[in-house]
Amino acid sequence: MQAYSLTIDKFLDHAAKWSGEREIVTADAGQPTRRIGYAALRDRSNRLSGALLSLGLGPGERIGTMAWNTQHHFEMYYAAMGAGLVCHTHNPRLTVAHLAAMINEAENHALAVSYDLAPLVMELVPRCPTLENIILMDGKADSVSGLDRLKAEIWTHEALLAGRGAPSRWGDFDENAPAGLCYTSGTTGRPKGVLYTHRSNYLHTLRALQAGSMAVTGSDVILAAVPMFHANGWGLPFAAPAVGAKLVLPGRHTDGASLARLMREEGVTVAVGVQTVWLGVLDFLDSTGGELPQLKRVLIGGSKCPDALIRRMEERLGVRVQTSWGMTELSPLGTIAPADEASSESSGRPPMGLDLKLTDVNGVALKQQRGPVGHLKVKGASVVARYFKAEVDALDAEGYFDTGDLATIDRDGNLTICGRSKDLIKSGGEWINPAEIEDIVGRDPAVGLVAVIGRTDEKWGERPVLIMEPRRGQSLDAEALLRSLRGKVADWWIPDQVLWIESMPLAATGKIDKNRLRADYASGSISAHGGK
């Protein structure tokens, strides 16, 4: 058989040849600002590869990106990876200290950044001695002051492409060559890098495109509301061109008004993002009476979605909601609910190419894999084996990666995440699982977001505290919420304290930041906002 390397440049080559006029749309605050077909984008991205190589970057070297979901960022993805460079995506919502540590560990020699993030660049360059080139994307350099004082060469995306762009040979390397680098958020400790290969990204894309998975096709119009700096943008920058789907990139603004307008005007059929994004869209539509007639499916990930939100989306939007679970270490798709089944709170099943197992606390596989709660481990071609620059593998003796999650698998193979093992609360020597409490409370239509954390208790060691963000325009009844728990969890699991806050703190990945909640609670800054 032919030798045909599994390199990601082939996705854009395929789209350019067979869906050349299909659009990639970039928007700002809900208004389209750029449109381009796959054929023209492929040409620009290929010539951008030549420009990057002219800066002295070589195979395997990392070029950082710190930008929103835009055409320029999409072009940079393929320009870097196609030429054998490593596209190292940075989350601009992290601290300067975290970003500098990642840039220095990865030895980024160039950083492609959205022009509106230039103030961050001016803080980073003095801390990052390897940075030699700064490429400004999505705007004009003359709109940014102070960059000329930095000890780095400053380019704009368009000027670099015009002045140094040249055709480049793509995919001229082994499929096991590194393609992308993404760090974990660092909210649970030191950020750790995951180095994706071309082969792992290619196989992850095939897994995502399965009929029982994301199941997008060339007739779909996909809104990528998940940032491209979050674990390959959940694989959408590869999946969309692989099938020739129209791709809508919202830029920096993912508020409800901007996304609703964009989805309606561009005829979005499949929308992908974390649950907080869809809360904003629903609230906007409820306040304006708008509709999204073309929308068929919404894919949710990031954290477990409350049943009340799923039902609200189905009833208000008339869509199929697909819940999912994944991690940066999984590229990131782990499990997903199939598109042709009824919506549920489970995170669905693993598509072909990923295996799951449940173990006890000592890592021994549970004899009964269906039903009991266990520690979730995974294995597959797009699962991390060893963190970037780590000295040892992150796998057990059978080659499985420990996700840090507690989970259960039902008889049909549906996975339900039962919480993070580190979030368990030990009260009186027994364990309380916050996720079970959150799941029940989250069903109340007045609750927007909910989290349970542990507080120190002299007698019991720890006790649970229930913290909520009310849905806009709703009031919360603490006693009624506690009554909803009785009979569903053990009496001693029921929180002693109920609090609510105006806005739930979110981590850089869009998940609820429990570390911040614990710190705020310890400092007393939460207790003043309400509750009992």
Which long-range contacts (C-beta less than 8 Å, at least 24 apart) are formed by 58-61?
58/85, 59/83, 59/84, 59/85, 59/173, 59/177, 60/84, 60/85, 60/86, 60/177, 60/178, 61/85, 61/86, 61/107, 61/109
How far is Cα 469 from Cα 313, in angstroms, rounded to an integer? 18
Q: Which residue in the block uniquely carries the two structure tokens 């060559």?
A: 177
H or E, element range at 11 = helix 9-18
With a CB cutoff of 8 Å and minimum separation 6, the contacts of 203 are: 6, 353, 381, 382
Looking at the annotation, which residues are catalytic?
184, 329, 426, 431
Whether the Cβ atoms of residue 73 and residue 137 lie closer than 8 Å to each other: yes
Q: How many residues does the chain have?
A: 532
Nearest to residue 195, comparing CAs of 90, 331, 9? Answer: 331
Backbone φ and ψ for 235, nearest 5 degrees, come out as 85, 0
Backbone φ and ψ for 170, nearest 5 degrees, come out as -90, 155
How far is Cα 449 from Cα 468, in angstroms, rounded to an integer? 6
- Give CA 63 to chain center in angstroms: 20
H or E, element range at 515 = helix 514-523
